[in-house]
Amino acid sequence: MDIGKIVRIVAVLVAIVTGVATIPQAALIIAVAGLVLGYFTATEDRLQYLVGTIALVTVAGALGSIPAAGMYLTGILTNLGALMSAGAITVIAVNIYEKVTA
């Protein structure tokens, strides 16, 4: 198991846990995990990552109307969207860096 896969698993678990439970400084933890996650995104997966981020952020609140579970699902999807948005910043920055230095 490579470091990128470990980072991806830990980042998703952090987003899920903070979506269900209240953790102090959760936004900071998600942002840092997302930045690291974006750094370890493979070159061939960057476009898919960016499109997935846009889709996830767009539909994050759509499950809020489900009784009993909607609140938790919305929290989890919102945190995953924040995680991937922070990662998208890193993906874009790495892509720009590679274009400038190539």
Question: What would the pLDDT profile of 26-79 be if each residue is shown by its tens digit?
Answer: 899 999 999 999 999 999 999 999 999 999 999 988 888 888 888 889 999 999
- CA distances (Å), 27 to each of 1, 46, 83, 91, 93, in order? 27, 23, 9, 19, 21
Q: What gap in Å lies between CA 52 and CA 46, rounded to an integer?
A: 10
Provide the 10 A C-beta neighbour count for residue 54: 13
Q: Supply the Cα-derived Rg of the chain in whole angstroms.
A: 14
**Which pTM value belongs to this model?**
0.88
Q: What gap in Å lies between CA 4 and CA 66, rounded to an integer?
A: 34
Q: What gap in Å lies between CA 85 and CA 89, rounded to an integer?
A: 7
Q: Is the pLDDT of residue 89 over 90?
A: yes
Domain ranges of the chain: 3-101
- Model pLDDT, residue 56: 93
- CA distances (Å), 43 to each of 12, 55, 57, 73, 79, in order? 20, 20, 22, 30, 24
- Model pLDDT, residue 23: 87
Residue partners of 89: CB distance under 8 A and separation at least 6? 34, 35, 38
